[in-house]
């Protein structure tokens, strides 16, 4: 998938390699039935963003939401765990 990420979506090589590894990990741990074509379809459908990292994170998040045993897609997203993840005050009134 790395060449598709770099050539079609403009990702740099390091980002594309990380993304490919993340898809592989997601496939191995939660979505053994996920095909390359299905992931690329999800990536293409994630057209709310132009930048590859955001597009990738949206696609992997949508796929993770479709699998009941995957309750957290952050380990597979390029954005990972942001600094706000453990801040209990966010969203509190």
How many angstroms separate the CA atoms of 8 and 4, rounded? Answer: 5
Residue 80 domain-assigned (yes or no) = no
79 pLDDT tier (thresholds 50, 70, 90): confident
pLDDT at 86 over 80: no
What was the pLDDT predicted at 46?
92
Q: Concatenate the DSSP letters of all residues of the chain into one string.
A: -HHHHHHTT---HHHHHHHHHHHHHHHHHT-TT--HHHHHHHHHH-TT-SSHHHHHHHHHHHHHHT-TT----GGGSSS-S-TTTT-TTTT--
Residue 89 domain-assigned (yes or no) = no
What was the pLDDT predicted at 82?
62
pLDDT at 83 over 90: no
The domain total for the chain is 1
pLDDT at 44 over 90: yes
- Each residue's pLDDT tens digit, 15-28: 999 999 999 999 99
Residue 92 domain-assigned (yes or no) = no
Structural domain boundaries, residue 24: 2-70
């Amino acid at each position: 998938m790395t060449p598709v990420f770099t050539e079609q979506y403009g990702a740099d090589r390091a980002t594309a390699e990380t993304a490919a590894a993340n898809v592989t990990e997601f496939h191995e741990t939660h979505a053994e039935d996920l095909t390359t074509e299905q992931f690329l379809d999800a990536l293409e459908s994630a057209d709310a963003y132009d930048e590859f990292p955001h597009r990738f994170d949206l696609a992997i998040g949508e796929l993770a939401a479709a699998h009941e045993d995957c309750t957290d897609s952050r380990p597979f997203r390029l954005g990972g765990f942001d600094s706000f993840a453990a801040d209990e005050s966010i969203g509190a009134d």
